[in-house]
Amino acid sequence: MKIIYKRSDIKDKVKALKANGLTIGFVPTMGALHQGHLSLIKEAKLQNDIVVCSIFVNPIQFNNQQDLEKYPIDYESDLKKLENLDCDLVFMPDVEEMYPEPPTQKYDFGFLDKVMEGKFRPGHFNGVATVVHKFFDIIEPDKAYFGEKDFQQLTIIKRLVKDYNIPVEIVPCPIVRESDGLAMSSRNLRLTKEQRIQAPYIYQTLLKAKENYKKFSVIELKNWIKEEINKNSFMKLEYVEIVDMQTLHSVNNYNDIKNLIICIVVFLGEIRLIDNIKLFY
Ligand code: AMP
């Protein structure tokens, strides 16, 4: 496994590999790697000759300075995990390397970046799109892997590659959960012992909603989820939306649309956890 810090070095390295006819799979991460990230690496290993993983805590996608400052970092452990999976290249630029000048790009994804995360985290998706676009430009992967845990992000990245004609296939990967159902997240490390015990209640509530949705209208189901979450004294719901998986438009009834997803964000203290569940009918 080779660790590379400079844009020009990773570009040259990948170019040489591609010239030899090898295919490149790319997995962008912000480090503090867990089994969710590693599932993306494993999938990329299966589908490509060479796997590139980036570790870069992208400051411009944080709308909350405290969240950025407290973001967990453990490069040593990350590199060990990647080595164990036989990841080929790790790209670890610093902020100066990625943004020698303050970035000025402005993306507009129409409705897709105005709702849910876009609404509650202003500027977040512009930061995500900026860094992912740069990575695609530098690495030119054949395929890139994104987790369905960040479902809206995945939708926006698919739109980014369409809008800018970027020749990369976006591969969605399912959510990896702890054995108690909590969606794996680097932020879980920041939960207190008691918060960690309570946290699986988010997924339990989503599961119950999915099991029982036919008993409720869409509005009633949303309200039921809201009430269930807020019943838990450790939790505060930020939002819950039931949306069309393609357009992210909220629906008012279950008719017409085949693929719905319930997206939720819950605070436990100051820790913001995101999750979702697909609701097919
Ligand atoms: P992050 O390091 O949080 O930016 O995440 C890097 C990638 O890993 C993103 O595509 C995430 O959606 C994905 N990811 C994070 N957690 C999980 C999980 N529990 N299951 C599947 N993918 C995940």
Q: How many helices (H) and strands (E) does the chain have?
A: 11, 9
**Which is nearest to 129 in space by CA: 170, 175, 82, 183?**
170
- Please give the positions annotated as active site: 37
Choosing from 26, 34, 40 the residue with most ligand 1 atoms within 8 A of its CB, the one to mutate for a pocket test is 40
Q: How many whole angstroms separate alpha carbon 269 and alpha carbon 96?
A: 33
Residuewise pLDDT in 10s, the chain (281 residues): 999 999 999 999 999 999 999 999 999 999 999 999 999 999 999 999 999 999 999 999 999 999 899 999 999 999 999 999 999 999 999 999 999 999 999 999 999 999 999 999 999 999 999 999 999 999 999 999 999 999 999 999 999 999 999 999 999 999 999 999 999 999 999 999 999 999 999 999 999 999 999 899 999 999 999 999 999 999 999 999 999 999 999 998 887 677 999 999 999 999 999 999 999 75
Ligand 1 centroid – CA 246 distance (Å) = 20
Q: Is the CB of 129 under 6 A from ligand 1?
A: no
- State which amino acid sits at residue 114: K
Q: Is the CB of 147 under 6 A from ligand 1?
A: yes
Question: What per-residue confidence (pLDDT) applies to 82?
Answer: 98
Pairing outcome for strands 24-29 and 143-147? parallel
Question: What per-residue confidence (pLDDT) applies to 122?
Answer: 95
Question: What per-residue confidence (pLDDT) applies to 256?
Answer: 67
Q: How many whole angstroms separate alpha carbon 176 and alpha carbon 71?
A: 20
Total-model pTM: 0.97
